[in-house]
Amino acid sequence: TSSLRVQPACPHFGLHVGACGGCKMQHLEPSAQVAIKQRALEDQLWHLGKVKPELVLRPIQGPDWGYRYRARLSMRYVRKKDEVLIGFHERASRYLADMQTCVVLPPHVSAMLLPLRALIKGMDARETLPQIELACGDEVTALVLRHLEPLSEGDVAKLRAFAALHGVQWWLQSKGPETVKLLDPPVRPELVEGQMGLRQAQPERGWVDERVLSYALPEFGITMPFKPTDFTQVNPHINRVLVTRALRLLDVQKTDRVIDWFCGLGNFTLPLVTLAREVLGIEGSDTLVARAKANAEQNLQQKQSLAGIKPAQAATDFVARNLFEMTGQMLVDDGYANRWLIDPPREGAFALAKALAQIHQQRLGNLPEAEEGQPAPQPVNIDDWQPPQRIVYVSCNPSTLARDAGLLVHQAGYRCTAAGVINMFPHTAHVESIAVFELG
């Protein structure tokens, strides 16, 4: 209704020709946006999973503006107009919106859009620079420049001058994500104190930025270093609240063994370490597992040097698994954990839910049927293994959450005791949510 409509804060929002397609809901009052997302979550859970949560949780909310600490900004040099466009695409179009500002980006990044356009326009490589990826940490703003051709010395000098003026850190990406590297790596790897962690290095490089891209979870005394192309949450304010809420819902005790599925760099794992007896982080790639281990080790050393003694914390391990091909036997082999935290990508955690369902049905005496063209699944050697008593599932796609919830509730012996939305992306139609499942 008209009472819920508001004046959009952004001049580029709307239905006019050339309007930016980044936001979809700026014309609605923030509480109305959240109500729409809550309804979408409940509808999906019911229609796709036939699941009705016993309790609808209070929405997790944060700042409505300047929240987007990660973004992929497309770039195009328009030769006819001799100008550069940087930003999001127009609504349902391959054209770029002519963005001068952006109210969902942090204010200092929004203020940089026009200077960035001027920088790129003045570069030799302006026609072969398709994208800038933004990643803001608590103290560092990293910009990853995707370049299709090698950069000239003149272009590199322009990037350095821009970095010195605006206090940003340039990273370069010539091909795939594995090619991302700092424009000017630190001369010494150890951190240097001083003004913003900057110091003079070789004369031709001028100031070298030795700050590390990271974010903190202050409630747990944790610092998470990350690379600008790593997966981290877009909205750090919401992430801090989300970690606290998820762990409170998981209700971890000092005697618990916890598995964190799709653990990434350890966003939930490292806080769990401060609460449980034993924690296992499981992720899909060896590289991420190595990085999560390094993050855990670094935080342990940091706490140790601050306290002077080794802090009491859970035994911690990280392993790599193909999480989209988990079986009941693999779950049993990973051992009993009475608490699970699941934070999958958009595809959800179907294999995990299916494996729990297989074990539960086997215990009930229902042997699994073969799917068409597939051999029947082998019975699981369960012994005294037990499924987790409680599961907290953080989802970025309500339809895959609903599918997995349907399996957990109707096939695996769980109740959906609570669910609610996380307003991670205000003004967009993106629905992030959290759900709690209890055995029996």
| pLDDT per position as a tens digit, 166-209 | 999 999 999 999 999 999 987 644 443 333 344 444 445 555 67
Q: Which secondary-structure segment (H or E) carries 162?
A: helix 153-166
Please, are residues 339 and 436 in contact by the beta-carbon 8 Å criterion? no
Tell whether the model's pLDDT for residue 22 goes beyond 60.
Answer: yes
Q: What percent of the chain has pLDDT over 70?
A: 94
Mean pLDDT of the 4-33 span: 92
Residue 366's φ and ψ, nearest 5 degrees, are -95, 110
Mean pLDDT of the 290-297 span: 94
Q: Which of 330, 323, 234, 219 is nearest to 270 (CA)?
A: 219
Q: Which of 47, 38, 46 is nearest to 420 (CA)?
A: 38
| pLDDT tens string 336-363 | 999 999 999 999 999 999 999 999 999 9
Rounded to an integer, what distance in angstroms lies between the CA atom of residue 127 and that of residue 140?
A: 28
Residues in contact with 333: Cβ distance below 8 Å, sequence separation at least 6, in sequence order? none
| Residue 12 lies inside a defined structural domain of this protein | no
| 341 and 435 share one domain | yes
Upper half-sphere CA count for residue 236 (Cβ side, 13 Å)? 17
Rounded to an integer, what distance in angstroms lies between the CA atom of residue 165 and that of residue 171?
A: 16
Q: Which of 314, 189, 174, 180 is nearest to 253 (CA)?
A: 314
pTM, rounded to two decimals = 0.91
pLDDT at 348: 98
| Residue 6 lies inside a defined structural domain of this protein | no
Q: What is the CATH number of the domain that holds 167?
A: 2.40.50.1070
Mean pLDDT of the 242-253 span: 98
Which residues face 83 on adjacent strands?
78
* Burial grade of 255 (CB within 10 A; 0-12, 13-18, 19 or more): exposed
| pLDDT tens string 373-432 | 777 778 999 989 999 999 999 999 999 999 999 999 999 999 999 999 999 999 999 999
One-letter amino acid at 15 equals L
Question: Quick one: pLDDT band at residue 143, thresholds 50, 70, 90?
Answer: very high
Rounded to an integer, what distance in angstroms lies between the CA atom of residue 402 and that of residue 350?
A: 10
| Residue 373 lies inside a defined structural domain of this protein | no
| Residue 86 lies inside a defined structural domain of this protein | yes
One-letter amino acid at 374 equals Q
Start-to-end C-alpha separation, the chain: 42
One-letter amino acid at 85 equals L
Upper half-sphere CA count for residue 178 (Cβ side, 13 Å)? 2
Domain range for 419: 30-63+231-368+378-439
Q: How far apart, in Å, are the Cα atoms of 251 and each of 2, 222, 257, 422?
A: 42, 20, 12, 19
**Mean pLDDT, rounded, of the chain:** 92
| 242 and 185 share one domain | no
pLDDT at 9: 93
| 34 and 79 share one domain | no
Catalytic residue flag (residue 20) = no
| 249 and 150 share one domain | no
| 176 and 53 share one domain | no
Please, are residues 323 and 285 in contact by the beta-carbon 8 Å criterion? no
Q: Which secondary-structure segment (H or E) carries 395?
A: strand 390-395
| Residue 352 lies inside a defined structural domain of this protein | yes
Mean pLDDT of the 237-250 span: 98
Rounded to an integer, what distance in angstroms lies between the CA atom of residue 259 and that of residue 335?
A: 10
Q: Which of 157, 108, 165 is nearest to 137 (CA)?
A: 108
| pLDDT tens string 33-45 | 999 999 999 999 9
One-letter amino acid at 47 equals H
| 295 and 397 share one domain | yes
By residue count, the chain amounts to 440
- Name the token pair of 49: 């999973």
- Examine the fold and report which residue of 155, 180, 211 is the final residue of a domain before the chain moves on: 211
pLDDT at 378: 84
| 97 and 51 share one domain | no
Q: What is the CATH number of the domain that holds 433?
A: 3.40.50.150
| Catalytic residue selected from 10, 23, 396, 416 | 396
* Burial grade of 89 (CB within 10 A; 0-12, 13-18, 19 or more): middle
| 421 and 273 share one domain | yes
More confident: 304 or 61: 61
| Residue 308 lies inside a defined structural domain of this protein | yes
CB atoms near residue 183 (< 10 Å): 18
Q: Domain total for the chain? A: 2
Rounded to an integer, what distance in angstroms lies between the CA atom of residue 111 and that of residue 116?
A: 9
Question: Quick one: pLDDT band at residue 1, thresholds 50, 70, 90?
Answer: low
| 124 and 172 share one domain | yes
Q: What percent of the chain has pLDDT over 90?
A: 82
| 180 and 272 share one domain | no
